């Protein structure tokens, strides 16, 4: 059966060593997003970093889908992109609201929210 798939030009399942390459890229990109979210003080750049994490999760989902020869990974990424779009709309509306109140994008302008 695998022979049939290979002959018909179908993508054959990949080895876990190949998968590990993609997982490393996804994990590294996710961690870069985490570090950016923790260190940057600009509200918009902080939200950009969350988008970076979404993107990394998408790479991992598609790589796993390719590994198991299953398309559910790609369906999942459609929803990751949907949620990212919804999050961007909400986050940017919030940022505009906050910017109108304090005239700055610095996260530290809202330090009193720490309580």
Partner 1 sequence: MESLIHPVLLLAMCALGAVGVCLALPRRGLTPQVVGAAVAGLAAGVVVLALTLKNPEHRPNVYFYIFAAVALGSAVRVITHPKPVYAALYFILTIIASAGLYLVLSAEFMAFALIIVYAGAILITYLFVIMLASQSASEETDKGEQEYDISAREPIAASVVGFLLLATLTAFAFRGASELPGSVSATSGLTKHPLSVGVVERETAILADMPRRVEQELRRAGLLKDGDKVVVSEDGAADVDLAGGTIGVVRASGGTERVAIPAGFMPKNVESVGFNLLRDHPGSIEIAGVVLLMAMLGAVVLSRKQVELDEELKKQQAHRLAGEPGEGGAA
Residue 50 CA to residue 42 CA, distance in Å, equals: 13
Site membership for partner 1, residue 58 (CB under 8 A): yes
Site membership for partner 1, residue 28 (CB under 8 A): yes
Helix-strand-coil split of the chain, %, nearest 5: 80, 0, 15
Q: Is 49 within 8 Å of 65 (Cβ atoms)?
A: no
Considering the complex, what minimum distance in angstroms separates the CB of residue 50 from partner 1?
A: 11
Of 103 and 112, the one with the shorter C-beta distance to partner 1 is 103
Site membership for partner 1, residue 47 (CB under 8 A): yes
Of 8 and 113, the one with the shorter C-beta distance to partner 1 is 8
Of 46 and 115, the one with the shorter C-beta distance to partner 1 is 46
Task: Among 50, 69, 111, 114, indicate the residue that binds partner 1 (CB under 8 A).
Answer: 69
Q: Which of residues 2-21 bind partner 1 (CB under 8 A)?
A: 2, 4-5, 7-21
Q: Which residues pair with 42 in a beta bridge?
A: 106
Q: Minimal CA–CA distance to 18: which of 67, 70, 73?
A: 67
């Amino acid at each position: 059966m695998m022979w049939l798939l290979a002959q018909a030009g179908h993508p054959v399942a990949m080895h876990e060593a190949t998968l590990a390459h993609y997982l490393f890229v996804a994990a590294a990109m996710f961690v870069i997003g985490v570090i950016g979210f923790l260190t940057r003080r600009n509200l918009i750049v902080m939200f950009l970093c969350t988008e970076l994490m979404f993107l990394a999760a998408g790479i991992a989902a598609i790589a796993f889908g390719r590994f198991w020869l299953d398309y559910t990974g790609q369906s999942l990424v459609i929803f990751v992109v949907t949620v990212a779009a919804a999050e961007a709309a909400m986050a940017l509306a919030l940022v505009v609201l906050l910017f109108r109140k304090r005239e700055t994008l610095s996260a530290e302008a809202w330090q009193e929210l720490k309580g």
